[in-house]
Amino acid sequence: MAWAIDNSHSEIGFSVRHMMLSTARGVFDAFTGTVDFNEATPVASTVDVTIDTSSINTRDEKRDGHLKSADFFDVAQFPSITFKSISVETTSATTGKLHGNLTIKGVTKSVVLDVEYLGQAKSPWGTTSAGFSAKTSINREDFGLVWNATLETGGVLVGDKVTITIDLEVVKQ
């Protein structure tokens, strides 16, 4: 069954180490996609999401500008990030693994998202919504995001491991 992403109640975020000391976080404010959530047979479900890379928001305009440049996402040449599911495996009644292809900066790699199904609720307006939470980690250099700076104290400015977190509310069509 087709479900539409409720963007006002969904978030695609990421986090990465900064200067080996802290964690920098951000979100993508604009994304679209389709979710075909098969309630009876979850393994038959599919997900297809497109993220507008220019919508990156780390709450720091200067950093966002750098992330949009050719040093990182090169939004002029690569305006979107895409995820297309390949398969779903259930690990319990409410958890599973979503296997798919993630494309960033023209590079496609297989990733696995750990997904939790949070249930369903009927809104006061008569619509039915379902909630999902997902998480995965990638090595940003695998996708051509290789810019970095060495710190005089040792280490680097930007960590390689990026954690992606997704909180998705979808509305049954």
At residue 22, does pLDDT exceed 90? yes
Query: How many Cα atoms occupy the beta-carbon half-sphere of 158 within 13 Å?
Result: 18
Q: How many independent structural domains does the chain possess?
A: 1
Is the pTM higher than 0.95?
A: no
Residue-wise pLDDT tens digits, 117-156: 999 999 999 999 999 999 999 999 999 999 988 988 888 8
pLDDT at 113: 98
**Distance between CA atoms of 129 and 138, rounded to whole angstroms?**
29
Write the CATH number for 156: 2.40.128.110
pLDDT at 8: 95
**Distance between CA atoms of 26 and 110, rounded to whole angstroms?**
22
CA–CA distances in Å: residue 118 to residues 129, 130, 133, 145: 10, 7, 7, 33
Query: How many Cα atoms occupy the beta-carbon half-sphere of 66 within 13 Å?
Result: 9
At residue 68, does pLDDT exceed 90? yes
Q: Tell me which residue range forms the domain holding 70.
A: 2-172
In the predicted model, what is the mean pLDDT of residues 158-170?
95
Based on its alpha-carbon atoms, the radius of gyration of the chain, rounded to whole angstroms, reads 17
Average pLDDT, the chain: 95
Compute how many other C-beta atoms are within 10 angstroms of the C-beta atom of residue 1.
Answer: 12
CB 120 within 8 A of CB 128: yes
CB 25 within 8 A of CB 15: yes
* Adjacent-strand bridge partners of 52: 80
In the predicted model, what is the mean pLDDT of residues 87-96?
96
